[in-house]
């Protein structure tokens, strides 16, 4: 497969800069995969689109306030976006600023604090391994900022708007955005309709959203992300499927957790914890997920490949047609955009 098969043009005005208010007022494109039929609804209509006995599975990861602003020894500004913790004081980070080399000590990350970060290693592009002078996690709530995707150019009045209402496990560098549409009221109405909820955890890394730069899909190297599915949830999901219910993943990150767990356990859902490098492309056999709620994704992204794989057969054509109709109807794209339900 060529990466170019997963490219498309998007008018800049459809890349929404601010979240929909209220959350569940977002639009919902519903794609019936077998019939290739598209209908247009709202997220708040979800209880009427699902069945009693279905289970919505959410990623409960919470976005870290992992964006730090500091200074180089020269006094020049530098920005760090913390991606993965390698040790209590050592992190992989994305660096904004020129000339950040091995041995450089960065400082002044907060008002009057003595926190410093020393560059230990240069990775590809702007990635660096840095070691802080003290464990950084406890200080992030005071000196850190919630990171927003690079295509979002406006600051949020309320940083919690980039968190799901059920987020509880700190660790992500970006939000699992399909869950941003849910409100406490919508969750209550789903429960009243007999739709169950369950939670897994995957700490989202930025690589998931980065465009692929290789010509051939098979040459793309996907980075690992830590995820967790506990035994009790796995048992509930197996029971629901045995009773005829559908497992509906809220977001591509949830798909990766469930399918990683199934792959590690001979195709059966069972407890799973650890890093996953699962790269889902067209031709993949889904063993856990029956339906998917997801946002509209960037061109040439691994997420667009995953959604195309889920829409098989002829998934690329179905998703291309769905995205074309979404553009024609002025759907909002990306993190704060509208959603699509694949049934």
Among 97-111, 132-146, 172-186, the range with the most confident prediction by mean pLDDT is 172-186
Closest CA to 57 of 302, 257, 243: 257
Closest CA to 83 of 128, 141, 149: 128
Mean pLDDT along residues 122-137? 92
Mean pLDDT of the chain: 94
pLDDT at 41 over 80: yes
Mean pLDDT along residues 329-340? 97
Provide Rg for the chain, Cα atoms.
20
CB 320 within 8 A of CB 304: no
Strand, coil or helix: what is 298?
coil
Cα 119 to the center of its chain, rounded Å: 28
Residue carrying the six token digits 């995953």: 306
User: pLDDT tens digit string along 240-261?
Assistant: 999 999 999 999 999 999 999 9
- Give the integer Cα–Cα distance in Å for 225 and 255: 13
Cβ neighbours of 123 (radius 10 Å):
12
pLDDT of 112 reads 54
> What is the CATH T-level fold of the domain 67-143, as seen in this structure?
Thrombin, subunit H (2.40.10)
pLDDT at 207 over 80: no
pLDDT of 130 reads 97
Mean pLDDT along residues 121-150? 90
User: pLDDT tens digit string along 46-86?
Assistant: 999 999 999 999 999 999 999 999 999 999 999 999 988 89
- Please, which pLDDT band fits residue 141 given cuts at 50, 70 and 90? confident
Residue spans of the domains in the chain: they are 3-63+157-342, 67-143
Residue carrying the six token digits 């969750």: 187
Mean pLDDT along residues 175-196? 98
Q: What global pTM score does this model have? A: 0.92
Pull the structure tokens for residue 23.
């959350």
Domain 3-63+157-342, classified CATH 3.40.1780.10, yes or no? yes
- Give the integer Cα–Cα distance in Å for 278 and 223: 9
More confident: 20 or 154: 20
pLDDT at 24 over 60: yes
* Bridge partners, residue 255, by sequence: none
C-alpha dihedral, 204 to 176 to 276 to 6, nearest 10° = -100
Q: What percent of the chain has pLDDT over 90?
A: 83
* Strand duo 90-96 + 77-87: pairing: antiparallel
- Please, which pLDDT band fits residue 292 given cuts at 50, 70 and 90? very high
CB 257 within 8 A of CB 208: no
Residue carrying the six token digits 């800049």: 12
Instruction: Encode 156-197 in three state secondary structure.
Output: CCCHHHHCCCCCCEEEECCCCHHHHHCCHHHHHHHHHCCCEE
pLDDT at 113 over 80: no
DSSP output for 100-157? --TT-EEE--STT---EEEEEEE-STTEEEEEESS--GGGHHHH-B----TT--S--S
- Give the integer Cα–Cα distance in Å for 301 and 208: 8
């Amino acid at each position: 497969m060529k990466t170019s098969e997963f490219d498309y043009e998007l008018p800049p005005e459809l890349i929404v800069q601010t979240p929909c208010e209220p959350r569940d007022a977002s639009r919902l494109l519903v794609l019936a995969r077998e019939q290739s039929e598209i209908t247009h609804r709202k997220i708040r209509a979800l209880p009427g689109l699902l069945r009693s006995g279905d289970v919505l599975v959410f990623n409960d990861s919470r976005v870290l306030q992992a964006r730090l602003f500091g200074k180089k020894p020269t006094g020049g500004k530098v920005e760090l976006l913390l991606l993965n913790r390698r040790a209590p004081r050592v992190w992989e980070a994305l660096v904004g600023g020129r000339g950040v080399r091995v041995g450089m000590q960065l400082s002044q990350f907060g008002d009057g604090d003595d926190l410093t970060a020393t560059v230990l290693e240069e990775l590809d592009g702007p990635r660096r391994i840095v070691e802080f002078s003290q464990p950084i996690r406890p200080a992030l709530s005071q000196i850190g900022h919630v990171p927003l995707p690079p295509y979002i150019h406006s600051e949020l009045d309320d940083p919690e708007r980039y968190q799901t209402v059920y987020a509880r496990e700190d660790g992500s560098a970006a939000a699992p955005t399909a869950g941003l549409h849910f409100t406490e009221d919508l969750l209550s109405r789903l429960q009243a309709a007999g739709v169950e909820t369950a939670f897994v955890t995957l700490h989202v890394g930025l690589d998931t959203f980065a465009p692929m730069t290789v010509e051939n899909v098979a040459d793309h190297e996907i980075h690992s992300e830590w995820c967790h599915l506990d035994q009790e949830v796995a048992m509930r999901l197996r029971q629901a499927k045995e009773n005829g219910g559908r497992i509906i993943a809220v977001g591509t990150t949830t798909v990766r957790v469930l399918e990683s767990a199934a792959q590690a356990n001979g195709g059966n859902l069972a407890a799973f914890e650890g890093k996953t490098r699962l790269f889902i492309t067209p031709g993949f056999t889904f063993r856990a997920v029956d339906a998917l709620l997801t946002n509209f994704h960037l061109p040439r992204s691994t997420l667009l490949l995953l959604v195309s794989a889920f829409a098989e057969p002829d998934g690329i054509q179905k998703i291309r047609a769905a995205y074309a109709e979404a553009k024609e109807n002025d759907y909002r794209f990306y993190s704060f955009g509208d959603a699509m339900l694949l049934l």
